[in-house]
Amino acid sequence: MCCEAVAWDASFYFCVLKMPLTHDKVWSLLRRQFLSVSGFHYRRVNYKATLNSPVFPFAIELDHKVRLIKDPDHGKISDANFILHDGPPYANGPVHFGHALNKILKDFVLRFHKIHGKTVSLVPGWDCHGLPIELTVIGNNFSLPPADVRIASLQRAMTCMAKQMSSFKDFNVIADWNNAYSTLDHSYQSAVISSFYELYAKGFIVREPKPVYWSRATRSAISESELEYNADHESPSVYFLVELNTQPAWIPTRLRGHPTWVVIWTTTPWTIAANEAVIFSSSEKYAAVLDNHTNRILLIAHYLAQSLAELTSSPASRFELVACATGDHFENYVYKHPLGRCDRPYRLMPGDFIQREKGTGFVHCAPSHGKEDFDFAKHHKLPLRSLVDSETRFTDEAGRDLAGRFVQDDGNSAVIHGLGDRVLALSRIRHNFPYEWRTQQPVIKRLSEQWFVNTEKLESLAMEAYAGVDVFPPDRKPMMNQFIENRPFWCISRQRTWGVPIPVLYRKLDNSAIVDADFIGLIADRVGREGSEFWWTESSTQLIPASCLEKWNLTPDDVLRGMDIFDVWFESGLSWKAVLPENRIADVYLEGLDQFRGWFSSSLLLSTALTGRPPFRTIVVHGFTTDSEGRKMSKSLGNVIAPEDMLRKCNGEVDVLRRWAASSGLAARSSAGTKSFAAHTAAYKKLRNMFRFILGNLHDLPAAGLDWLDQPLPQDLSLLEKWCLCLIGRFCDDCFNTFYPNYRYESIIAEGDQLVSRLSTVYFNAIKDSLYCDPPASERRRMIQKTLLYATEALSVCFAPILPNLVEEVASSLHRTASLSHLERMASPHRGADCSTGSAIVRTAVSWASNHADLLDAVALASTLRQEIASHQYPNAETSRSAWPGPAANPLARLHVTVTTDSDGECLAILKRLNEDVDAEGYSTLCKILRCVSVEITDATARRGEALAVTANVGTQRVSCLLRIADHTAQCPRCRLYNSSNASLCQRCASLVPI
């Protein structure tokens, strides 16, 4: 509305007015006088100066210097009535997008509950022990002294923890940063040691020899939860033969004297060295097949007999089916060990774990390298031989040809070579194979004496406790089951250096463990005071009290201290005990999907064992972060983007990063890339610009008008104001009663974007004229300003948990926060009421939604009608262009719209209601929504010859319109509306511009 006009000298103007001239003659005379009189005096009127121009409090462009004015106070965890327990991220390396997503989502939860007046607590934590740090420190130098490893690991953990904490603070995450915890804390390590003995005393921890997953890369036992399965792993596929000492009686007489062999399949030929039995199924039908090339009789499951030719790439004539028998005929048959071991008779034995889907109907049993084999061997008292050392090499006991070889490399080849002509078929197979997720290296199963949590004893207790836990999203609740039900014993001991020591001594005589309550209690107390380093550095005499040695009737030279450490999942799974107040349950655990197999399940198992209840009331689960193409971020792919790098591209505005996190929500995969962040930046600017527009037009609202919360809405609100507040009230209702409580942050972003669009295209366009051109203190303008104020307060509360920087700017602009941040103000009690100020604002806003809900559909219908009208072409004979002749910003600005009564009845009633709501200038709500000159509703036959007839389809309704261009209506040079009979000011503007 930046326009200027020419006004003539007042004396001449009044002379002209006295003349009895027609309108045209007056203007003709004025023009002649202006042109003919030398030195005619005129002045320019700057209409812009007469408008109510907005005073914007901040720029549209983002300012990287903007930060929260004051971090909200964070109460002590002991005083909190809402606890979000922070799962400890690993202190090894910089923060990545997974960290950012996790910490920001947690912050949304805290701010939401704080707005409702709760005292919230998030004590940030770090997991500082374990292999990733230790492997980084030692590299390939496995001979590095343990003391040096521990010192270097400590330094790295502390450095990474400090850097990560700094990044998390930059994300505007509220937390008790001054009291952060880590697994390095003396009190934490003491709690772990005390819990170990308590679990042992209850029978939940045992020490036994078992086949455990073993990592060649780390030379340590690992648990199921530390595995990933690589579908592209290649193994040798070997069909080999085992010769029976005697031929079965059911073989035909004509074949007496032919050697009889059992066909067995394996993908781990190195385990044949540890073979102790061959297992068959008593109920399976087996076939005896004559190999005409070798004169051997081969025993194989009957359903596989016809596949031998294909298996060996031989003609069908090579193999001849000669007899059949069920498996119960095989019991007690003796075979020759495939690698020639002769220390005892080796037998065929019945078992119940033969799978028809794979194999040959026979299984070679290696008790040291498989759970089923181990259980079978224990039941039948078979020998347990450990032929593989901690480096996964064959020991000397395996024989001269195998000793020293890595089992998965040349060990496999050596065994296959040793089988010689016992190999029936050899190929390569690609299949799922367990890998250690940290090192991405294949693992084996190896017999080793370890400490275990008895998960069989805990299973039913844990599942019963878990039944009462809420999980979001709800469809992910069953994901816990696979890590609790039928879970193998949990191996909690590790043969590493960097961690909390398992405080157990062993008798040198028989390697039996000394698990003593007094001794472990003393160790736990010392660790709580001074840390655990003394366990590694002191002599046995210094470490073991004389009273304990006397009780055990031992000397310091009779015992060895254990050098194993606890599994890091055992450590972190006890964080609730080490950090939370006694007898408190965390309200929320919030972590990624992978924590079902990690922190979630370990915490559940240990809490159930120690307290009989889960450590959490609610589990919230988010997904993984990927690049813009859906690929996992990795250095090898060159697609790793740090959150800090993306923030720099966003001019440092952390609210854009937080908006990304909210938009990602709890989706299984969240992509982060330049394109997606550009879109988030653009959408964020639209919201920022909306608040900027509102605040710019509130600059002259008296301070008394800002105190509105306890005041009822004005009774004379127009339908547009009622619609605006209803729309915002519905959004508040959705946010605080559905989206936030159910962690649906992506819905807040999606609905918020739609809200901004609807307010901008409908309400803001409709009110700009009154805001800019009405008298500053007019009743209508003040009513609009108050509506904008209500909208600002309500929307600020809705967006406060997600976009704290922006909301702080808005709050500061309203002069509300001389001493309080916006969050503290919202969290403060509302003038002695039973709720916080934030809750009171939400309650008020939600009431708007219920009062005028019918207006939402009405305004939506009118908006659709505008789009339909704008989509029709305007016939113009003078030009080839057919667009409506209004300005580009509003092509319908010169249009008169007549809605005829032959429109559908429901639509007509709604449009009549909107058209009957008229302001002081005669403009109806419908006219403002359509942004045209005028709207009338009349009989279908009226003026049909003067206008363009249009039928608009509005949903399922039909609206008949007559559209006419206001050819004889001029544009007011001040307000720019087509409401003047000539080029002069309209009646309203003329009354506001001084002559």
For 227-253, how does the pLDDT look when each residue is reduced to its tens digit (9 = 90+)? 889 999 999 999 999 999 999 989 998
- pLDDT number for residue 705: 60
- pLDDT number for residue 7: 39
* 3-state SS assignment for residue 185: coil
Whether the predicted pLDDT of 877 surpasses 60: no
- pLDDT number for residue 787: 92
Q: What is the mean pLDDT of residues 611-623?
A: 97
Q: Are residues 868 and 731 in the same domain?
A: no
**What share of the chain in percent tops pLDDT 70?**
89
Distance CA(817)–CA(836), nearest Å, equals 16
Whether the predicted pLDDT of 608 surpasses 70: yes
Write the CB contacts of 534 (distance below 8 Å, at least 6 apart in sequence): 526, 542, 543
- pLDDT number for residue 31: 40
Q: What is the mean pLDDT of residues 914-940?
A: 88
Contact 893, 932 (CB under 8 A): yes
Burial of 344 (0-12, 13-18, 19+ CB in 10 A): exposed
- pLDDT number for residue 635: 59
- pLDDT number for residue 820: 58
Distance CA(604)–CA(204), nearest Å, equals 14
**Residue whose tokens read 């462009």:** 61
Last residue of a domain, one of 414, 443, 472: 443
Q: Is 91 among the domain residues? A: yes
Strand (E) or helix (H) holding 568: helix 568-572
- pLDDT number for residue 66: 44
Whether the predicted pLDDT of 301 surpasses 60: yes
Write the CB contacts of 459 (distance below 8 Å, at least 6 apart in sequence): 484, 485, 486, 487
Q: Are residues 117 and 171 in the same domain?
A: yes
More confident of the two residues 848 and 267: 267
Contact 622, 593 (CB under 8 A): yes
- pLDDT number for residue 833: 62
Strand (E) or helix (H) holding 937: strand 934-938
Write the CB contacts of 292 (distance below 8 Å, at least 6 apart in sequence): 317, 318, 319, 320
**Cα dihedral value 753, 755, 756, 759, nearest 10:** 160
The model's confidence at residue 667, banded by pLDDT at 50, 70 and 90, is: very high
Burial of 602 (0-12, 13-18, 19+ CB in 10 A): buried
Q: What is the pLDDT of residues 688-725, one digit of tens each?
A: 999 999 999 999 888 766 666 666 667 778 899 999 99
Strand (E) or helix (H) holding 808: helix 804-813
**Residue whose tokens read 């193409």:** 629
| Highest mean pLDDT: which range of 14-18, 97-101, 896-900 | 97-101
Exposure pattern of 711-723 as b/e (b: 16+ CB <10 Å)? eebeeebbbbbbb
Last residue of a domain, one of 851, 883, 901: 851
DSSP state of 971: P
Distance CA(535)–CA(527), nearest Å, equals 9
Distance CA(504)–CA(186), nearest Å, equals 19
**Residue whose tokens read 């078929």:** 425
Say how many CA atoms lie within 13 Å of 951 toward its Cβ: 7
What HEC string does 90-147 produce?
ECCCCCCHHHHHHHHHHHHHHHHHHHCCCCEECCCEEECCCHHHHHHHHCCCCCCCHH
Say how many CA atoms lie within 13 Å of 363 toward its Cβ: 22
Q: Are residues 296 and 405 in the same domain?
A: yes
Instruction: Pull the structure tokens for residue 172.
Output: 């505007």
Write the CB contacts of 747 (distance below 8 Å, at least 6 apart in sequence): 665, 734, 738, 739
Cα 620 from chain centre: 9
Cα 855 from chain centre: 36
Q: Are residues 818 and 862 in the same domain?
A: no
> Quick one: which of 823, 818, 840 has its CA closest to 119?
823
Last residue of a domain, one of 827, 851, 875: 851
Q: What is the mean pLDDT of residues 144-172?
A: 92
Q: Are residues 483 and 430 in the same domain?
A: no
Q: What is the mean pLDDT of residues 608-619?
A: 97
Distance CA(840)–CA(817), nearest Å, equals 18
Q: Is 570 among the domain residues? A: no
Q: Are residues 362 and 273 in the same domain?
A: yes
Q: What angle do CA 211, 216, 217 make, to 5 degrees?
A: 140
Q: What is the mean pLDDT of residues 902-915?
A: 86
Q: Is 350 among the domain residues? A: yes
Distance CA(221)–CA(671), nearest Å, equals 35
Distance CA(223)–CA(212), nearest Å, equals 7
Whether the predicted pLDDT of 61 surpasses 80: no
Q: Are residues 239 and 315 in the same domain?
A: yes
Distance CA(915)–CA(325), nearest Å, equals 93
Whether the predicted pLDDT of 886 surpasses 80: no
Q: Are residues 737 and 800 in the same domain?
A: yes
Contact 554, 519 (CB under 8 A): no
Q: Are residues 609 and 683 in the same domain?
A: no
**What share of the chain in percent tops pLDDT 90?**
59
Q: Is 28 among the domain residues? A: yes
Q: Is 196 among the domain residues? A: no
More confident of the two residues 439 and 44: 439
How far are the Cα atoms of 17, 256, 680 from residue 29, in angstroms, in the given order? 11, 137, 60
Burial of 109 (0-12, 13-18, 19+ CB in 10 A): buried
Reduced DSSP (H G I as helix, E B as strand, rest coil) percent helix, strand, coil of the chain, to 5: 45, 20, 35
Ramachandran assignment for 299, one of left (phi > 0), alpha (psi -120 to 50 degrees), beta (any other): beta
**Residue whose tokens read 């198992």:** 605
Q: What is the mean pLDDT of residues 489-515?
A: 94
- pLDDT number for residue 970: 82
User: Which residues partner with 301 through β-bridges?
Assistant: 286
Q: Is the dihedral of CA 407, 408, 410, 416 positive or negative?
A: positive
Q: Is 69 among the domain residues? A: no
Q: Is 338 among the domain residues? A: yes
CATH code, domain carrying 305 = 3.90.740.10
More confident of the two residues 290 and 826: 290
CATH code, domain carrying 723 = 1.10.730.10
When mean pLDDT is compared across 61-70, 345-354, 662-671, 696-705, the lowest value belongs to 61-70
Distance CA(984)–CA(995), nearest Å, equals 13
The model's confidence at residue 70, banded by pLDDT at 50, 70 and 90, is: very low
Distance CA(156)–CA(443), nearest Å, equals 27
Q: What is the pLDDT of residues 511-548, one digit of tens each?
A: 999 999 999 999 999 999 999 999 999 999 999 999 99
Q: What is the pLDDT of residues 629-655, one digit of tens each?
A: 888 776 556 777 889 888 888 887 899
Distance CA(892)–CA(218), nearest Å, equals 74
Enclosing domain of residue 38: 4-50
Strand (E) or helix (H) holding 805: helix 804-813
More confident of the two residues 846 and 270: 270
Whether the predicted pLDDT of 875 surpasses 70: no
pTM: 0.86
Cα 250 from chain centre: 64
The model's confidence at residue 938, banded by pLDDT at 50, 70 and 90, is: confident
Write the CB contacts of 196 (distance below 8 Å, at least 6 apart in sequence): 205, 502, 503, 520, 566
Q: Are residues 148 and 15 in the same domain?
A: no
Q: Is 424 among the domain residues? A: yes
- pLDDT number for residue 355: 86
Say how many CA atoms lie within 13 Å of 408 toward its Cβ: 20
Ramachandran assignment for 427, one of left (phi > 0), alpha (psi -120 to 50 degrees), beta (any other): beta
> Quick one: which of 893, 901, 953 has its CA closest to 923?
893
- pLDDT number for residue 876: 58
Whether the predicted pLDDT of 368 surpasses 80: yes
More confident of the two residues 389 and 835: 389
Q: Are residues 840 and 715 in the same domain?
A: yes
Tally of CB atoms within 10 A around 119: 17
Number of H helices, E strands in the chain: 31, 34
* 3-state SS assignment for residue 602: helix
Whether the predicted pLDDT of 728 surpasses 90: yes
Rg (CA), the chain: 41
Q: Are residues 786 and 694 in the same domain?
A: yes
Average pLDDT, the chain: 87
Whether the predicted pLDDT of 13 surpasses 80: no
**Can the peptide bond before residue 473 be classed as cis, meaning omega within 30 degrees of 0?**
yes
Distance CA(331)–CA(908), nearest Å, equals 90
Strand (E) or helix (H) holding 85: strand 82-85
> Quick one: which of 147, 162, 215, 216 has its CA closest to 567?
215
Cα 138 from chain centre: 33
Contact 680, 662 (CB under 8 A): no
- pLDDT number for residue 946: 60
Q: What is the mean pLDDT of residues 77-91?
A: 87
Structural domain tally of the chain? 5
Q: What is the mean pLDDT of residues 598-602?
A: 94
- pLDDT number for residue 439: 83
- pLDDT number for residue 822: 77
Contact 267, 360 (CB under 8 A): no
* 3-state SS assignment for residue 211: strand
- pLDDT number for residue 259: 94
